[in-house]
Structure 1
Amino acid sequence: MKKVTMFVWNHFTNDARVNRECTTLADNGYDINLIAINDPKNPAISAYEEISNTFKVHRVKRYPWLLQAYQDHGKKFLLVVAGVQVVIIPSLFYISFTLMAAYLLSLVVAAGMIKFKKIRKWFINGAIITRMIVKGYIQNADIYHANDLNTLPQAIVCSKLRLKPKPLIYDSHEVQSDRTGYNPKTIKSIESFMLKFVDQMIVENHTRAKYNEDIYGFYPKTLYNYSEKYNIEEKPQINLHKKIGINEDEKILLYQGGLQQGRGLELLIEAMDEIEEGHLLFIGGGKLTQPLKEQAEASKQAYRIHFLDKVPFQELPSYTREAYLGFQVLQNICFNHYSASSNKLFEYMMAHVPVISCDFPEIKKVVEETNTGLVVDSHNASEIANTVNQLVKDTSLRNQLSENTKQAKEIYNWNNEKSKLLEVYNQFVPIEHPITQFHTK
């Protein structure tokens, strides 16, 4: 059985895409070891998890021991350390002034690591990268797979710094060189250099593949972020109305996913002033959680705006199915957003929930071709509100859009896409008895 080591820079608790890829490979004769990051704040997450006999998750420690002790004990830890120094420093001075100076320097570095956020982040990330490399190198896999740029260095070291180099797949879920919070010029230089070591690059769609060709000179493989195919009627039912404290006859206007910049979430709250009926529900978490809650509390429509923490992806369909409509209103603040074909769109589709979407090329193409939702200017709160009102008032239109999802999901699902992933793997590490027949869409 061919061994695969895959890296992902998260806790692997809500990464549906990586889970789909790992499960597909494991079901088709590959032995998968996924290296992720442990979460010391969540005791429910284990350092080692066996999803199946051929799919195992290894979570490396997040913090260096010094920072972990500080995180756990705070001022008590600092007092203990200070007390110990009272004994150690005079002793070292007695032995050697140079030794004492070196020790004091290490204390300064440690203090900086604790006190200064930027230095602390460097040490944390450095520790994670080192642990990932050690774990991945020891596994000596037949092929290595990096999910996004932040795990590519680890995969390069593990796959290429060997007497006999191993194949390396770079699976870029984002447009790394044009996304919020990153320096495009710096990231482009780093990615361009690292691509020299990559045997196959994968991107989310053809819009991104063409962009990649324009800046790097080659057209990578595409692997669309479609949802797993399932029958929504077979998913467990929950009383979402009761969970958020509203009457059963109220319409839920759902946004599910990360609460991050550039997703039009502030505009959804703003639009509630003009939306005549329905309750806005956010399911998820992120950097904007608190600002959005504060905006909602200040709104006159506060009683119609609700928040739930993120839900494990295995349970999410039970929540999605309760919605009257779903939102996918990304804003054009970077090419990464403009070119997205977000999994959220297909999660709504799989649950038979009509979508109100942005008019960006990949998303607009799906929504209009399948007639499973309505496209809006995602930068215009009034247009979003008017479109919601249209669907709320016209239940026959809403029901027709919902009915259309039943045909659309037969096309836009992972069962029709996963063969492309298997073709990539078969190119480098073929298996003797593949379970899934390869075909090209």
Structure 2
Amino acid sequence: MNIIILRSNPILPDPRVEKEANTLLGLGYKVKILAWNRRSLNNREIYGEIKVKNGTLPIRWFNVNASFGNGMKNFLPLLFFQIFLIGWLIKHRKDYDFIHACDFDTVIPAWFCSKLFNKKYVYDIFDYYVDAFHVPNFLKSKVEKIDIFMINSADAVIIANESRKEQISKSRPKKLYIIHNSPDISDVIDNKEHGVMFSNTQKLKFAYIGILCAGRLLKEILEIFQEHQEWELHIGGFGPYEQHIKSIADSNDNIFYYGRIPYEKVIEIERKCDILFAIYDPDVPNHKYSSPNKLYEAMMLGKPIIVAKGTGIDETVQNFEIGKAIDYNGESFEQAITEMFEERDNWRCMKHRTQILYNKHYAWEIMNTRLEELYRLISVD
């Protein structure tokens, strides 16, 4: 059985897609990824592959130039990308049995071709579109109605945590599964080095590797680390702030910028740091249901984490005492660091507590079983 995964970024990395695809390979499915390369002016390649534990994932890039976080300016590039997806899915209609659509910006081609060729599609909602992105007010209700229709039409729907049931409460999915953004422990259990150059100072080390954009308190945090040379920031990823962060890192010995890196290197950097953070702006509606990779990575690694109040995950962090939940401002972040440093003697107990929590409720082995059940059930429907 063949599965096509649709994603509106170039992958490389995309931890959730890579983990799900790796699981499906391990279950015996053949998996191919269709992805959007938005930096087509810098990269003319259209074919590639991703090495994962269970094999190799072929990837087909559609090169349509666009920027991340550009809102409605990306409408035409997105439309072209979707047309290219539909064209490929029509041309290769005999080469796949299931379409696994990631987010709203790939689900319409999945729905269209599933109806046209009697295929089954899974709608994997990483972020609920009207809450996560800048959709003009006059379009919001229309986009949401289409999204709800896509949810109701899908053979199965995946969401990233339990709280998002409320977010999609207007819909009636045929089958609903929760796949948390948990890391695969096999990425770190061997404790292998992956060629990351890392400082050997005794400074308190912090890690953030993810989307580099507004709504993450990143500019304020960069200012704090420029003022506190006794702390180290290890930051990487991609997004609109890339050049800004790189220029600051170039002029500060305590700020290390890694750019876009593979997931195994993300885990290695986080393992070598002391504290992680994932501070989302609570005024963004989607952030009330946030489920960042960083939270699960922190739990698996037994690292304390700093998050923002009012973002869903703050309750988990506070209830299980696995870090700090702060107001969304630089002063609160700075204060949290001071408090956590004073409490560092408790980190060993916290590590034990968080890893038990992770293994009981969030381990990727649990998510693996859910994904296996999902595809088994829709295969026989």
- 1:201 has 2:150 as partner: no
Contact 1:32/1:56 (8 A) holds in 2 = yes
**Structure (1/2) with the larger strand percentage:** 2
Distance in structure 2 (CA, Å) of the matches to 1:22 and 1:361: 28
Q: How far does residue 396 in structure 1 lie from its aligned partner after superposition? A: 0.7
Q: How far does residue 323 in structure 1 lie from its aligned partner after superposition? A: 0.6
Query: Which letter does structure 2 place at the counterpart of 1:200?
Result: A
Distance in structure 1 (CA, Å) of the matches to 2:355 and 2:88: 44
Distance in structure 2 (CA, Å) of the matches to 1:397 and 1:284: 30
Query: Which letter does structure 2 place at the counterpart of 1:364?
Result: D
Per-residue CA distance 1:342-385 (angstroms, 9 max, x = gap): 111112222332111223464124323443222222x1322221
Counterpart of 1:171? 124
Which among 309, 330, 342 is matched to residue 381 of structure 1?
330
Distance in structure 2 (CA, Å) of the matches to 1:136 and 1:358: 41
CA spacing shift, 1:403–1:232, aligned 2, 3 Å: farther
Distance in structure 1 (CA, Å) of the matches to 2:194 and 2:61: 34
Counterpart of 1:280? 233
Q: How many residues align?
A: 369
Contact 1:62/1:124 (8 A) holds in 2 = no
Distance in structure 1 (CA, Å) of the matches to 2:30 and 2:214: 37
Which among 104, 108, 116 is matched to residue 149 of structure 1?
104
Identity %: 22
TM-score (norm 2): 0.84
- SS state of the match for residue 409, structure 1? helix
Q: How far does residue 120 in structure 1 lie from its aligned partner after superposition? A: 9.4
CA spacing shift, 1:406–1:222, aligned 2, 3 Å: closer
Which among 188, 191, 194 is matched to residue 144 of structure 2?
188
TM-score (norm 1): 0.73
- SS state of the match for residue 315, structure 1? helix
Distance in structure 2 (CA, Å) of the matches to 1:315 and 1:48: 20
Contact 1:227/1:343 (8 A) holds in 2 = yes
Q: How far does residue 48 in structure 1 lie from its aligned partner after superposition? A: 3.8
CA spacing shift, 1:371–1:118, aligned 2, 3 Å: closer
Distance in structure 1 (CA, Å) of the matches to 2:129 and 2:306: 27
Contact 2:31/2:57 (8 A) holds in 1 = yes
Distance in structure 2 (CA, Å) of the matches to 1:238 and 1:60: 26
- SS state of the match for residue 33, structure 2? strand
Counterpart of 1:15? 14
Which among 352, 366, 369 is matched to residue 419 of structure 1?
369
Contact 1:25/1:32 (8 A) holds in 2 = yes
Query: Which letter does structure 2 place at the counterpart of 1:309?
Result: G
Alignment of 1:15-414 (within 5 A): 15-38=14-37, 40=40, 47-49=47-49, 51=51, 56-63=57-64, 124-137=77-90, 138-140=92-94, 141-162=96-117, 165-183=118-136, 184-213=140-169, 215-216=170-171, 220-230=176-186, 232=188, 234-237=190-193, 243=198, 248-272=201-225, 277-292=230-245, 302-360=252-310, 362-377=312-327, 379-411=328-360, 412-414=362-364
Contact 2:229/2:254 (8 A) holds in 1 = no
Per-residue CA distance 1:324-348 (angstroms, 9 max, x = gap): 1111111112221121111111122
Q: Unpaired segments of 5 or more residues in structure 1?
A: 68-116, 432-441
Contact 2:34/2:62 (8 A) holds in 1 = no
CA spacing shift, 1:313–1:144, aligned 2, 3 Å: same
Distance in structure 2 (CA, Å) of the matches to 1:347 and 1:403: 14
Contact 1:206/1:222 (8 A) holds in 2 = yes
- SS state of the match for residue 257, structure 1? strand
Kindly report the root-mean-square deviation, in angstroms, between the aligned alpha carbons of the 2 structures.
3.4
CA spacing shift, 1:294–1:311, aligned 2, 3 Å: closer
Contact 1:274/1:386 (8 A) holds in 2 = no
Q: How far does residue 425 in structure 1 lie from its aligned partner after superposition? A: 1.3
CA spacing shift, 1:328–1:123, aligned 2, 3 Å: closer
Distance in structure 1 (CA, Å) of the matches to 2:189 and 2:3: 35
